[in-house]
Amino acid sequence: MKPVAIFRHVGHEGPAYLGEFLAAHTIPWKLIAVDRGEAIPTAPDTYSGLVFMGGPMSVNDDLPWIPRSLELIRQAVAANIPVLGHCLGGQLIAKALGGVITRNPIKEIGWGMARVTATPEARAWFGETTEFPAFHWHGETFSLPDGAVRILETAHCANQAFVLNDRHLALQCHVEMTEAMIREWCAVGRDEIAAADSCAVQTPAVILQQTPANLPAMRAMAERLYGRWVSGLITI
């Protein structure tokens, strides 16, 4: 089986639980460290799927790897190679397919309930779950590309996730989090949190206090989402 390519855009936003999930299911994967200058592949056909992780930059920034990533996503979707995005990664998928990335009404940082939309597509991915605690860290949001179906929303961000062709999944939230990563982000992002003027931004103390109760529920949803996504991987 060809490996899954995982694109990392900053050192502290790696695959985390997704890497654990793939290893547990003996699915090979390869990290492409964009943050270290590794090149974006010119074609997706050497991989069974593509995953784009988060990052503090904007998809609208003038960075040389962004147009290359957008083109790679378009090629993958055209070839039915599954694409998965987390936060910045979800925004990359949206923009590559014709969506627009804009500032969210307010910044979201920390734990917040994500609601599953009442659509057949959402039920296919989430089953009977109607809401769950999700981890957030974003100030921008994406619009839905043509043909995409919104499957997740929050009180402060309408488009928290969409699916396309039951194969490609774009998330605004971070279901890949581990406790260690949450602690690291709280340390790295302390100044951003302190400067934020938003009712949807939690302090590091509140984030860490809520993590033991919320992380297992989000992990269960990540397990379900990743399980459905990998079922579409190219196996030849």
Q: What is the pLDDT of residues 148-170, one digit of tens each?
A: 999 999 999 999 999 999 999 99
Looking at the DSSP bridge assignments, the partners of residue 103 are 140
Give the integer Cα–Cα distance in Å for 35 and 60. Answer: 17
Confidence (pLDDT) at 145: 98
Mean pLDDT of 188-197: 94
The 10s digit of each residue's pLDDT in 23-43 is 999 999 999 999 999 999 999
Q: What is the reported pLDDT for 229?
A: 98
Judged against a pLDDT cut of 80, whether residue 67 lies above it is answered with: yes
With tokens 């960075």, the residue in question is: 63
Share of the chain above pLDDT 70, in %: 100
Residue 236 has pLDDT above 80, yes or no: no
pTM score: 0.97
Q: How many other CB atoms are found less than 10 A from the CB of residue 177?
A: 23
Task: Check whether 234 has a pLDDT greater than 90.
Answer: no
The pLDDT score that the predictor gives to residue 235 is 81
Cβ–Cβ under 8 Å, residues 116 and 150: no
| pLDDT of the residue at 95 | 98
Report the length, in residues, of the chain: 236
Mean per-residue pLDDT for 117-128?
97
Question: What element of type H or E holds 73?
Answer: helix 65-78
Q: How many other CB atoms are there within 10 angstroms of residue 74's CB atom?
A: 16
Rounded to an integer, what is the distance from CA 99 to the centroid of its chain? 16
- For the chain, the average pLDDT equals 97
Tokens of 23: 């290893």
pLDDT digits (tens, 9 = 90+) for 209-233: 999 999 999 999 999 999 999 999 9
Helices (H), 79-133: 88-96, 120-126
Closest by alpha carbon to 7, among 84, 81, 67, 63? Answer: 84
Largest CA distance in the chain: 50
| pLDDT for residue 22 is more than 80 | yes
- Say if CB 113 and CB 134 are below 8 A apart: yes
**Domain limits, the chain:** 4-230
- Does the structure show a pLDDT above 80 at 198? yes
Distance, CA of 149 to CA of 137 (rounded, Å)? 22
Correct CATH for 4-230 of 3.10.20.30, 3.60.10.10, 3.40.50.880, 1.10.150.20: 3.40.50.880
Residue 135 CB: number of other CB atoms within 10 A? Answer: 25
Pairing of strands 149-154, 101-116: antiparallel
